[in-house]
Amino acid sequence: MLTRIDHIGIACFDLDKTVEFYRATYGFEVFHTEVNEEQGVREAMLRINGTDDGGASYLQLLEPVREDSTVAKWLAKNGEGVHHIAFGTADVDGEAEAIRGKGVRVLYDEPRTGSMGSRITFLHPKDCHGVLTELVTSAPSRH
């Protein structure tokens, strides 16, 4: 079961400037930053609200750290904007398997490491009406 909007992933050219835009315009503060070498991104998580499944919803601001990352290629084609959306679940493995069984392409054979120690996978946007869709199970201690 998918129980929350976990985050909205937003691709940007300059993470520091984009973080500053969200702080100055809306008052949103950085909750966490990290570099995900596997995904090829530097990211900032801005926590927006708590959710009734015990989790939270974030904006995830993403800047590519290498030119061959998927986010770098996406930015070169599309410019800045919403890159993906993510739903939270207690069981990313089970959800991914069930969704694969419905004929939707799941991009990873096994979930990989996402923000803040989460486990994540992605669904092919062409199978999801144009929306790159992530499934996330948070690390136990992080909201």
Burial of residue 24 (number of CB atoms within 10 Å: 0-12, 13-18, 19+): exposed
38 in active site: no
Six-digit token string for 45: 């998580």
Rounded distance, CA 10 to CA 58, Å? Answer: 11
Rounded distance, CA 125 to CA 136, Å? Answer: 16
User: 59 or 72, CB closer to a second copy?
Assistant: 59
Closest contact distance (angstroms) between CB of 1 and a second copy is 7
End-to-end C-alpha distance for the chain, whole angstroms: 19
User: 47 or 112, CB closer to a second copy?
Assistant: 47
Collapsed DSSP state (helix, strand, coil) of residue 119: strand
Six-digit token string for 72: 């770098």
- The residues in 25-54 that bind a second copy, with binding defined as CB under 8 A, are 25-28, 48-53
Q: Answer yes or no whether residue 76 interacts with a second copy by CB under 8 A.
A: no
User: 49 or 141, CB closer to a second copy?
Assistant: 49
Rounded distance, CA 37 to CA 104, Å? Answer: 27
Task: State the catalytic residue, choosing from 63, 83, 84, 95.
Answer: 84
Q: Answer yes or no whether residue 128 interacts with a second copy by CB under 8 A.
A: yes
Backbone angles phi, psi at 39, to 5 degrees: -80, -15
95 in active site: no
Q: Answer yes or no whether residue 99 interacts with a second copy by CB under 8 A.
A: yes
Q: Answer yes or no whether residue 94 interacts with a second copy by CB under 8 A.
A: no
Interacting residues with a second copy (CB under 8 A): 1-5, 8, 10, 12, 18, 21, 24-28, 48-53, 57, 59, 79-82, 85, 87, 99, 102, 104, 125, 128-131
